[in-house]
Structure 1
Amino acid sequence: MDRVFARFIEKFGAPIDRQEVPSSSIERYRGKLPDQLLEYWAEHGWCGYGEGIFWLVNPQEYEGVVSSWLEGTKFEELDCYHLIARGAFGDLYFWGEKTGASLKIASIVSRYITHASAIPADQMDKRLQSFLIGMDVKYNDYDELFRPARKKLGTLNSDEMYAFTPALMLGGVDTLEHLEKVKAIEHLTLLSQITELQPYSFSDI
């Protein structure tokens, strides 16, 4: 294990619900995602970290989610994006083939943060490592509800997330009593269809 991933594990804790990554998946994304990420896949698999608050995922499983969120937006023209990670409450981390870790969507409120500028190919591995080093448990915790949700609803499996029901964009309330454990892909797709994706404003942060 290299120093960067060791530091990442140190911050988040041991992995859970590991899935081995087949060589076919590694080859599918060679030249599209950083070689360093593919090496991490081969060594560590696709897993949850921080007791399931953050997940490194199989982008192929989320191709439909990516399409649902980005189709018809400016991002469709800017880059070719792959979902490489997600949070327990539906924070989505996209990797652009030209722009790296340049787009994050908070799916439960349909807001995005972006800094799309092209990155030289020889810098992609460093940017991937910077993405992991810069990640923090608190970035994926909604209003400090993760631990209470885990205690009430149980630990997430690799295909699950915590969700407010009804969804916040439909007038739902963001309290523990309104959280449920749901299938991630299906719910993320549903959220993408409720309202138009908007940038974060200073008042949101």
Structure 2
Amino acid sequence: MDEDFTGFLNDFGPAFDKRYVPPSSIERYRGKLPDQLLSYWAEHGWCGYANGLFWTVDPQEYDPVLEAWIGDTPFMEQDAYHLIARSAFGELYFWGEKTGDSLGIFAPGSYCIPRKSRFVGEKMDFGMRLFFGALSRKANDFAGMFTPALAKLGRLKHDEMYGFVPALALGGTSTLANLQKVKAVEHLVLLAQLAPLDVITSPPP
């Protein structure tokens, strides 16, 4: 195992709620997603880490989420994307077939910050290693709410997330009292329908 994924496991492990990835799924994404990710799937499956703070997912299962959020945006004209991971609160990690780690969306806030990856083409596998190696718990823990949410609501299953009810786009507040366990795919699709995606671009240097 490479040192980047080993570091990720040391920080986020152990894995739980592991789902076996069938060879058909691996072949479906052969040539679309880096071989490095496919090898992680084969060895570790799709599963939760850090007690459910972070999840690797079946991109096909999350196609409705991808379509809801970026299906009608210029992003889909620039590249073919696949959702490869998410956080407990709806931080969505998209991987572009040509652009790699170039798009993330925070669904509860309906915003994204596009970025340019230097690790494309023949460097895709290394880019995938760095993706996992650079992940942090803090970046996935919205407002430090994960530990209290876990204590109050219990550990998530692979098809669940913590969602604000009512949603922030409907005037809900981002407090522990308003968090509930919700079905991940359904809730993420709903959030996409409540507010337009705000694309935040970095100011020029």
TM-score (norm 2): 0.95
Letter paired with 1:60: Q
Deviations 1:164-200 (A, max 9, x none): 1000011001110000000000000000001110123
How far apart, in 2, do the equivalents of 1:201 and 1:116 lie? 11
How far apart, in 1, do the equivalents of 2:99 and 2:55 lie? 21
How far apart, in 2, do the equivalents of 1:56 and 1:155 lie? 16
- Give the direction of change, closer, same or farther, for the CA distance of 1:170–1:124 in structure 2 (3 Å limit): same
Query: Is contact 1:98-1:119 (8 Å) kept?
Result: no
Deviations 1:85-107 (A, max 9, x none): 00000000000000001000000
Superposition RMSD in Å? 1.3
Unaligned runs of 5+ in 1: none
Deviations 1:25-69 (A, max 9, x none): 000000000000000000000011111000011001001110010
Letter paired with 1:112: C
Instruction: Find the residue that maps to 1:60 and give its secondary structure.
Output: coil
Letter paired with 1:150: L
Map of 1:18 onto structure 2: 18
- Give the direction of change, closer, same or farther, for the CA distance of 1:120–1:201 in structure 2 (3 Å limit): closer
**1:52 matches 2:46:** no
Cα drift, residue 76 of structure 1: 1.5
TM-score (norm 1): 0.95
Unaligned runs of 5+ in 2: none
How far apart, in 2, do the equivalents of 1:111 and 1:53 lie? 20
How far apart, in 2, do the equivalents of 1:117 and 1:34 lie? 14
Instruction: Find the residue that maps to 2:113 and give its secondary structure.
Output: strand
Query: Is contact 2:164-2:178 (8 Å) kept?
Result: yes
How far apart, in 2, do the equivalents of 1:178 and 1:120 lie? 40
Moved more, 157-166 or 2-11: 2-11
Letter paired with 1:142: F
Letter paired with 2:55: W
